[in-house]
Structure 1
Amino acid sequence: MTGLLEGKRVCVTGASAGIGRAVAIGCARHGADVAVNFGSDRQGADSAVAEIEALGRKGVAIQGDVAEPESATRFIDGAVAELGGVDIFVNNAGICPFHSFLDMPTEVFERTMRVNMHGAYFMVQAAANQMVKQGDGGSIIAMSSISALVGGEFQTHYTPTKAGVLSLMQSTAVALGKHGIRCNALLPGTILTDINKDDLADGEKREYMERRVPLGRLGRPEDMVGPTVFLASDELAGYVTGAALLVDGGMFVNLQ
């Protein structure tokens, strides 16, 4: 444990599995107490909390569908009640139900927008209001995606939400700077999680994706911990706000 986040109180959405889970536990390794939001996977959330507590930190799991605006205030209020406040907020929850464009069901499009974009907006807003109330600044980090910068044939509903999350961090960096709140985006490349496991079950497609990555492999959820801790840390990133950091093994720049 490095203590970069010693004594900090962290909230992470979508933290029962994948990137969110890895980030929540990773922040605890660096000294933070952590509140994890989850939708339906109570077992995953509870096991994440157990790992956080095994590291000697306080953990709490709070259920809520991020697509519902009221879940944002419920999550933040619950975190304040259990941890005493919120210093770092990580917006991670997201979905990507792959589907073709021409016959995109309205409900798939709208659900993706509500979870990824609306959920991010109201969660970030609730966290920011708490940080302003506390008066000590803070750090807000949103998981955007390489998909904010490139298109995807079966992601016409998804890529706009990730571009929106990136833009949200840029605008909130301006809006919240006067309160000492830093807002930054992380842009993961292809990370092996539940969101893409079915798509990458195709061995040929997985090999193609791996060949596109200069570092020679797809990402793991744990690859997102270091960049998150960097942006969360006042010591390391105290003058970083409105930034976007690609974490993709070099995939974006590999055009050959």
Structure 2
Amino acid sequence: MLLKDKVVLVTGASQGIGKAAAIGCAQHGADVAINYHADEAGAADAVAQIEALGRRAIAVKGDVAQVETASAFVQASVDAFGKIDVFVNNAGICPFHAFLDMPPEVMERTMKVNLFGAYYMVQAAANQMVRQGHGGAIIAVSSISALVGGGMQTHYTPTKAGVHSLMQSTAIALGKYGIRCNSVLPGTIETAINKEDLADVAKREYMAGRIPLGRLGEPDDLAGPIVFLASDLAKYVTGAALLVDGGAFVNLQ
């Protein structure tokens, strides 16, 4: 019970990594508020699974690309639970597309969701933590794509590098308030974001073959690392980035 009676907020938590993180935090004793954009059924299921663990949960609908969504999510969470201890910025999109004919609207939407959304969400959560006066933990879901390139991800990789950089800078800006800021960098995790891309059997097998642990990742593989960074086990960890990729990054040869 590493997060007993903590209040955890998770964005983009109706499916994938966000949902797994929300449930994983509840398994360790947290009450959880989730943000979601459109998946009503997924959000309801996440809430039901958390409540089945004996913890409280709410789901707050909102598009993280809209600035006002951040303050609304934080306020709804405080109204429900009275405080925020941990904030997990997870919401993100990756509509695969070639570089030379990248539509401006795809580029701009990806930036607004992944980077601008992260900035305003983290800012809103941090302000609440500062007002409370007892510190907190912020974890951002970046990506191995913050460290390596992708020919069909030229709009996506800069946003994930930005999220990683945001955690480094906020670690400095918020350290004096006792707020720790870290990022996790997943490798290839099977989620809705890459379902179509991994439908190519040859590519799927190639990707799995590049991973020393011999398999693609699952959303639940991120839950443990996120719980660790949220907990007091990581009380002296801030500004760090934790690769969760089965060894893919180090497998150059």
What is the count of residue pairs matched by the alignment? 253
The gaps in structure 1 that reach 5 residues or longer are: none
Alpha-carbon separation, structure 1, partners of 2:70 and 2:209: 39
Distance in 1 (alpha carbons) for counterparts of 2:225 and 2:23:
14
- CA distance in structure 2 between the aligned counterparts of 1:84 and 1:31, rounded to whole angstroms: 16
Task: Report the alpha carbon displacement of residue 68 of structure 1 after superposing the two structures with TM.
Answer: 0.3
RMSD: 0.3
Residue correspondence of structure 1 range 119-138 to structure 2 within 5 A: 119-138=117-136
Aligned to 2:234: 237
Separation (CA, whole Å) in 2 of partners of 1:192 and 1:111: 22
Moved over 3 A (4+): none
Q: Distance in 1 between matches of 2:198 and 2:173?
A: 39
Q: Scaled by the length of structure 1, what TM-score is found?
A: 0.99
State percent identity of aligned pairs. Answer: 72
- Structure 2: tracts of 5 or more residues without a match: none
Post-superposition offset of 1:84: 1.1
In structure 2, the partner of 1:221 is 219
- For residues 186-206 of structure 1, the C-alpha deviation after alignment (integer angstroms, 9 at most, x for no partner) is 000000000000000000000
1:248 equivalent to 2:251? Answer no
Q: Where does residue 23 of structure 1 map in the other structure?
A: 21
Aligned with residue 99 of structure 2, among 98, 101, 104: 101
User: Alpha-carbon deviation of 1:58?
Assistant: 0.2
Cross-structure match for 1:212: 210
- Among 181, 184, 190, the residue aligned to 1:183: 181
Query: How far apart in 1 are the matches of 2:82 and 2:39?
Result: 25
2:79 maps to 81
Q: List per-residue Cα deviations over 1:157-190 (Å, max 9, x = no partner).
A: 0000000000000000000000000000000000
User: Structure 2 CA distance, aligned partners of 1:165 and 1:77?
Assistant: 23
Matches of 2:198 and 2:136 in 1, distance apart?
37
Match for 2:121: what amino acid?
A: M
Secondary structure of the equivalent of 2:194? coil
Look up the match of 1:194.
192
Distance in 1, Cα, partners of 2:162 & 2:20 = 24
Alpha-carbon shift at residue 83 of structure 1 (Å) = 1.2
Partner SS state of residue 99, structure 2: coil
TM-score, normalised with respect to structure 2: 1.00
